[in-house]
Structure 1
Amino acid sequence: MPDVSQLIQEQRHGRRGRASASSASHPRPKIREKTQTSSSPGPQTTATPSLGSSFAGATTSSATASRTTKRSRASLATFWHLDRSLVVQVQNSLFRLHPSRLSQHSQFFAALFRNSPGRCLIVVDIDDDPESASSGRPPDRDSPTLVDAYAINPPSFNVLASLVRAAHALSFKSILTFAMHLLHQMWPNDLAKLPTPKERDAAAATQTILLAQECDTTRSSAPQTSDKTSASTCTPRQMLAHTQQPDPVTTCNAMRLCQRARLAEETQWHAWLVPSGLFELGMVDVFEGMRSLIDIDWKEKGFCIGCVSERRDVWSAKRQRLWDQLDVLLGLKDADAL
């Protein structure tokens, strides 16, 4: 009879043998040490891309991650998408966008990417001197407006000025064309379509003139005029004062009926116009003032139908001629450009 203790020892040795064999055939996996991966897209390389002569006011330089500014930067959640590979910082605003689509819409970014070797951090300084050849630096508040129009929806009237400045500064030609189309609808080239003072905002009118001076947004085709010298020799105030004077009417089918009215006009001209507020209106808005002058009921003041029609035609022609010369009077164009 075998010894029980010996059998127990043999069984124990057998289990150890099987366990050793099993461990030999299927080695126990080793736990590898986890390594922390960096979220950086790759090492920063040194590059000095060129934007070419089209962007003379912009200078580029290469920079490493250590040169990034320590100012507080805010990434806009609306334009911070994880599936986009380009991070653009405009002053304190961060955007993460598609470089290929930026190149399609912006000549500025197309030239920048064309001369940029691979992954790199590029610093672009845009000259904000209005006298320089550059279009200027887009204000920080304008950049989200530009990206919103570029990526999502067309702008409203309240953001149009911001859109024009930013699109002009960064050469988003298609968006600038779209913005200018809206701007031309608000301030049409046709004098007959000019909104009344109640329909337009005086602050918006001033801002539109400043936009034209800053971003060269003058009307593409101004009506032709034969008088090119008067606009260059007269100041806007002189032109306004000259325009408000009554024009003599050379012909009249009922001269006798109008003679008394003409004499009354010479002595009561100011009495007719001052109480109506026409002078004050003309100093604020010359075109609306002239329209009010044209719309006066001159027949009630004793003029015949022929005289009323003729003087209205004369003043309407003066109003149109002043409108045609407006770009020159505001300093947006030279007199030779008309």
Structure 2
Amino acid sequence: MFRDWATRSIQLEGMWPSSLAALSTTVIPHVTASDFTCRPAPYEHSRLLPADILCLVNTCKQLDLVWHTATAFDVFASLSIDEHTSCAPVRYVMYRRLVHDTGLLQNHRFDVLFGLEMLAQLNWESELADEEGKGVCALCASKLREKWETKREETWGKLDELFQLEELDVV
């Protein structure tokens, strides 16, 4: 039983590294297709307990809230840099184009950390240019990136609490 646990732990460690920088951006196919219902498993001890299911559901809700807050138009509209008001007219257009029209909002709903990284890595200055070639200035783009990078780091820091890992006595 201990060998089985150790094997699973090593596999989980490979999929879930201990640092945000080591987190892989490799897409795991069908990762959101499964659910966490209590159903028969090959071994009795591998079933999820109701408390674990509740923890997963609550964590999913919290991560969903992080994602929808980070991708809300308010993030774009809140850049109140007076000397850079020239970016304001294209903000909603860029928001619709890059967050909604590309599918980014829906595609990363269940992979919040990767989605926040994708938002921060976009080339906002050129990707968001309107028909006249007018996009977001470097300062506003930097502010947007900073918000998403900060949110990503904050979310990573809260995962132990969300998954209730701080309560485990692991030696």
The reply to whether residue 183 of structure 1 matches residue 12 of structure 2 is yes
Structure 1 stretches (4+) deviating beyond 6 angstroms?
334-337
Residues 207 and 237 from structure 1, CA distance in 2 versus in 1: closer, same or farther, beyond 3 angstroms? closer
Aligned mate of 1:322, from 148, 155, 167: 155
**How many residue pairs get matched?**
143
* SS of equivalent residue, structure 1 residue 240: helix
Structure 2 residue aligned with 1:194? 23
2:147 maps to amino acid = V
Identity of aligned residues (%): 20
- Supply the distance in 2 between the matched residues of 1:187 and 1:207 (Cα, whole angstroms): 19
1:241 corresponds, among 58, 62, 68, to 68
- Residues 71 and 99 in structure 2, CA contact (< 8 A), matched pair in contact too: no
Q: CA deviation at 1:187?
A: 1.8
Q: Please identify which structure carries the higher helix content.
A: 2
Q: Which runs of 5+ in 2 are unaligned?
A: 39-45, 52-57, 129-134
Whether contact under 8 Å (1:281, 1:288) holds in the other structure is no
C-alpha contact (below 8 Å) 2:90/2:136 kept by paired residues: no
**AA at the equivalent of 1:187:** W
**TM-score with structure 2 length normalisation?**
0.61
Contact 1:273-1:279 at 8 Å conserved across structures: yes
Give structure 1 stretches of 5+ with no counterpart. Answer: 1-166, 217-230
Q: 1:175 to 1:265 in 2, by over 3 A?
A: same
Higher relative contact order (CA 8 A, sep 6+): 2
Q: Does 1:275 align with 2:101?
A: yes
Larger Rg: 1
> Does the CA contact (< 8 Å) of 2:87 and 2:137 recur in 1?
no
Contact in 1 for aligned 2:32/2:110 (Cα 8 Å) = no
**Hey, which of these two has a bigger chunk of strand by percent?**
1
- The one of 103, 114, 117 aligned to 1:291: 117
Residues 129-188 of structure 1: per-residue CA shift (max 9 Å, x gap): xxxxxxxxxxxxxxxxxxxxxxxxxxxxxxxxxxxxxx3xxxx2x553354133202221
Answer yes or no: is the 8 Å Cα contact 1:294–1:312 preserved in 2: yes
Cα separation, 1, equivalents of 2:108 and 2:31? 17
Normalising by the residue count of structure 1, what TM-score does the alignment of the two structures yield?
Answer: 0.34
